[in-house]
C-alpha cells in the first residue's frame, strides 16, 4: 500500500506492506538515527515524534502515519547538537546508539512539560535505556540545558 506523510518537514511517499513498522520505513528513507534496540518497546532507541508526540517507531504500523508528520533526530539536528554539547560537558556523551532516542525524548519533554523537576524528568525518561554512561551525568546535563534555554527565552522577551 502507498502512504504519504511528512518526514522531517518534507512530504514523502512510501510503498509499504500492511505489517511494516515505522522504524523500518524511516530507516529505509535514510533516517539512520532511528535504531532498533529491543523490538519490545522497552529501550527507547527507536523514538520519533508523530505529530509532535514521542512514539516508539518499532511499535507503530507505518500505515498509521499516512497523512501525519514524523520527525526524527535528522529533523531537529540543531537542537540535538546543542543538547549534545551539554551532555558532553557533563561527561554524559554516549556511543551514539542510544543517544538519538534519548535526545528525541528530552526535546519532546521540554516541549510538553513546563519546568519539570528532577522526579518528573526521571519519570519522563524512564523508558530510555543507556548502556554506556551513568544516568546522573545525563540528568545534570538536562537540568543545565533547561536552565540555559529558560535564560535564553527570558532574554528574548521584549521589555
Q: What is the pLDDT of residues 101-151, one digit of tens each?
A: 999 999 999 999 989 999 999 999 988 887 676 788 999 999 999 999 988
Condensed to tens digits (0 to 9), the pLDDT of residues 34-51 reads 999 887 888 899 999 999
What pLDDT score was predicted for residue 158? Answer: 63
Condensed to tens digits (0 to 9), the pLDDT of residues 42-100 reads 889 999 999 999 999 999 999 999 999 999 999 999 999 999 999 999 988 777 888 89
Give backbone dihedrals phi and psi of 73, rounded to 5 degrees, phi first: -55, -35
Q: How many CB atoms lie within 10 A of CB 150?
A: 12
- The pLDDT assigned to 132 comes to 72
Predicted confidence at residue 135, as pLDDT, reads 81
Is the whole-model pTM more than 0.85?
yes
- Pairing verdict, β 69-71 and 2-7: parallel
Q: Are the C-beta atoms of residues 83 and 103 closer than 8 Å to each other?
A: yes
Write down all domains in the chain, each with its CATH number in brackets.
2-73 (3.10.20.30), 75-156 (1.10.150.120)
**Contact predicate 121/60, CB 8 Å:** no
- Rounded to an integer, what distance in angstroms lies between the CA atom of residue 38 and that of residue 34? 12
- In this prediction, residue 159 has a pLDDT band, given cuts at 50, 70 and 90, of low
Average pLDDT over residues 22-36: 96
How confident is the model at residue 41, as a pLDDT? Answer: 86
Which pLDDT belongs to residue 58? 95
Q: What is the pLDDT of residue 151?
A: 85
Amino acid at each position: 500500500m502507498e502512504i504519504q506523510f511528512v518526514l522531517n518537514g518534507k512530504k514523502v511517499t512510501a510503498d509499504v506492506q500492511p505489517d511494516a513498522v515505522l522504524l523500518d520505513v524511516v530507516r529505509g528513507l535514510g533516517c539512520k538515527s532511528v535504531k532498533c534496540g529491543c523490538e519490545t518497546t522497552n529501550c527507547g532507541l527507536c523514538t520519533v515524534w508523530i505529530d509532535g508526540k514521542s512514539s516508539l517507531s518499532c511499535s507503530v504500523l507505518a500505515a498509521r502515519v499516512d497523512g501525519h508528520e514524523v520527525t526524527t533526530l535528522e529533523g531537529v539536528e540543531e537542537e540535538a547538537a546543542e543538547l549534545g554539547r551539554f551532555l558532553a560537558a557533563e561527561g554524559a556523551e554516549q556511543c551514539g546508539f542510544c543517544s538519538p532516542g534519548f535526545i528525541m525524548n528530552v526535546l519532546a519533554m521540554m516541549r510538553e512539560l513546563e519546568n519539570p523537576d528532577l522526579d518528573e524528568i526521571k519519570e519522563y525518561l524512564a523508558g530510555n535505556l543507556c548502556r554506556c554512561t551513568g544516568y546522573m551525568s545525563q540528568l545534570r546535563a538536562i537540568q543545565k540545558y533547561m536552565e540555559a534555554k529558560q535564560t535564553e527565552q527570558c532574554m528574548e522577551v521584549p521589555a
